[in-house]
Amino acid sequence: MHLSTVAVALLLALPVQAAEPPAPTAPLERDHPLVGRIWQPASKAFITADALAAQAAAADMVLLGETHDNADHHALQAWMVGRLMVPSSPKPLVAFEMLDRSQGPALEAHLAAHPKDADGLGPAVGWDKSGWPDWALYRPIAKAALEEGAAVATANLSKDDSRAIAKGDIPTPWRDKLGLETPQDPGQRQAMEADIQAGHCNMLPERALPAMVRVQRARDAAMAWTMAQAPRAVLIAGAGHVRNDRAVPVHLASMAKGKQVLALAFLEVQPGKTEPAQYAEVYDTDHLPFDAVWFTPKAERTDQCEAFKRHLDKKKD
């Protein structure tokens, strides 16, 4: 993202909100030297939370990438959404990867009847049956948007559309919207296959990867399309969806031409990795593929690979 010096200076001159970023609560590596620090890969420098908020406020499209089960990431997303409610600018659309098109009618009905009710939004769309972490983690994000009169929207493909795309079909409503008719660059496809395999603990059969890449590419495109329908938009999504060398920002470049995009990832620190550049290897690049990275402690969780192995074993039985 490239912002003019004048634009950033004007935004930095705005009154700073009283609320500071929320303190970390995740239990692991809380004393790590990178926790709470914000790194800008392009400038190879740390910046303050207020400077980052100013850059985000100057952008048209802001992507906030998370680790889904880290409560600190959601608290920081909510804080950032609040900072984006600039009085002199249109309220941004706040779109969630976790909400798919099939939930759209329920979402619209709930917000029509209860425009500022974030508490009831999750139950209204059947969140507890979706497989995502508890609505309590995401509710503050929705609250930060709805209390300021911003719209909340679904961003993801429906399960039916995902299944069709996995088989190589493009559902009629999405034809000529997502750019999926254009063949994917072979290098990008291979990189996405590697990402998906690594994300599944290298336990997936190779034959499953092409369909999974088709769906991943379509989801990224659908999220970008949703954002591009609004003058300003925020995306709440997993960090892998906001990387700017592929994923949603690449699609925004063609769907929202001329719009300023800022991709921010909240990343968990790792023991022994005290330099931001050391985290690039996770993304198989020589630099972190985001406009900014906000480091946080790690959430406590069970061994995900062991859990995935049990899931695969159960499917075989």
Question: Contact at 8 Å (CB) between 170 and 110?
Answer: no
The SS3 assignment for 28 reads strand
Question: Which of 9-13, 15-19, 173-177, 290-294 shows the highest mean pLDDT?
Answer: 290-294
**Residue 222, both tokens:** 């659908």
Token duo for residue 68 = 């889904």
**CATH C-level class of 37-315:** alpha beta
Share of the chain above pLDDT 70, in %: 92
Alpha-carbon Rg for the chain, nearest whole angstrom, is 19
Find out whether 174 and 161 touch, Cβ atoms under 8 Å. Answer: yes
Q: What is the pLDDT of residues 266-297, one digit of tens each?
A: 999 999 999 999 999 888 788 999 999 999 99
Picking from 89, 108, 95, 1, the residue whose alpha carbon sits closest to that of residue 52 is: 1
CB distance 101 to 156 below 8 Å: yes
Residues whose CB is less than 8 angstroms from the CB of residue 229 and which lie 6 or more positions away in sequence, other chains included: 93
Write down the pTM of the prediction.
0.91
Q: Which of 207, 221, 206 is nearest to 165 (CA)?
A: 221
Q: Is the dihedral of CA 40, 296, 18, 143 positive or negative?
A: positive
Residues 66-95, mean pLDDT to the nearest whole number: 95
Cβ(126)–Cβ(107) below 8 Å = no
Q: How far apart are the first and last CA of the chain?
A: 49
* Confidence band for 213, pLDDT divided at 50, 70 and 90: very high
> Residue 86: which pLDDT band, with cuts at 50, 70 and 90?
confident
Q: How far apart are CA 247 and CA 221, in angstroms?
A: 8
Q: Which two tokens stand for residue 56?
A: 């985000």
Q: Which pLDDT belongs to residue 306?
A: 78
pLDDT (tens digit per residue) in 227-258:
999 999 999 999 999 999 999 999 999 999 99
How many residues are there in the chain?
A: 317
Return the bridge partners of 267, or none: 295
Residue 289's φ and ψ, nearest 5 degrees, are: -85, 55
Other C-beta atoms closer than 10 Å to the C-beta of 299 total 18
Arithmetic mean of pLDDT, 10-27: 67
- Identify the sign of the CA torsion 102, 103, 106, 108: negative
Q: How many CA atoms lie within 13 A of 20 on its CB side?
A: 4
Residue 64 contacts residue 236 (beta carbons within 8 Å): yes
